Homo-oligomer: A and B are copies of this chain.
Amino acid sequence: MGDDHGAARPLRADARRNRERVLQIAQEALASDGLTISFDEIARRAGFGVGTVYRHFPTKEALFEAVLLGRIERFVADARALATAEDAGRAFFGWFAGVVEQAAVNQALCDMLDSGAAMPLRPGSTLAGDFAAALGRLLVRAQRVGAVRADLTAGDALDLLRGCLVAERGARARGGAVRLADVVCDGMRARSP
């Protein structure tokens, strides 16, 4: 599930080139301007007529998904790979900081993770759920070994992740020296009484 429905005939050479260029430009535009950028503006920056871009991606959302979905899937895959790591605390905090690190330099990723309860994906998608579930597994393991406060839920951690994104992005814009994600991670650590 990703490209076209069923077995489509191969694209004409120029069309494939153009499609790649659109994806490239859209990726840059989304990273710098976020989800609010207009479809027309992306077409303009890519140097194509808007009709051409719509030929490749039937809606604005389809284009944005084509650019961003892979990034989120990657986060989920990373979390799964860490699900059996030796040091559960290290796994959780490392993954958490890694997501913040990558998303903080990409406005669209921030917008996507930030906005409201659900990620603005195709209704049928389970990705938002997968993401939350993957985070939840890392969290529980870290709590079992006493690395993270026991009273935090997966929802809490997800909200803190969103908060970190906002904070960290602000800090980057100012050239701040302190990793704000580290500050928040410290807050999540279990106190040693």
Contact = CB atoms under 8 A, between A and B. Distances in A.
A33 to B, nearest CB: 12
Contact of A163 (B151, B167, B191): B167
Looking at chain A's contact residues, the main secondary structure is: helix
A1 interface: no
Interface string A106-139: 0000000010010000000000000000000000
Interface residues of A, number: 33
Contacts of A153: 176, 178
Interface in A148-173: 149, 151-153, 155-156, 158-160, 162-168, 170-171, 173
Contacts of A177: 151
A29 B114 CA distance: 21
A173 B117 CA distance: 8
A12 B24 CA distance: 59
Interface stretch (A2-10, A13-21, A85-93, A181-189): A181-189
Contacts of A158: 170
Given A160-B167, A162-B167, 14 more contacts: A152-B178, A153-B178, A155-B176, A156-B176, A159-B168, A162-B166, A165-B166, A183-B184, A183-B187, A183-B188, A184-B184, A185-B187, A186-B186, A187-B187
Interface of A: 114, 117, 149, 151-153, 155-156, 158-160, 162-168, 170-171, 173-174, 176-178, 180, 183-188, 191
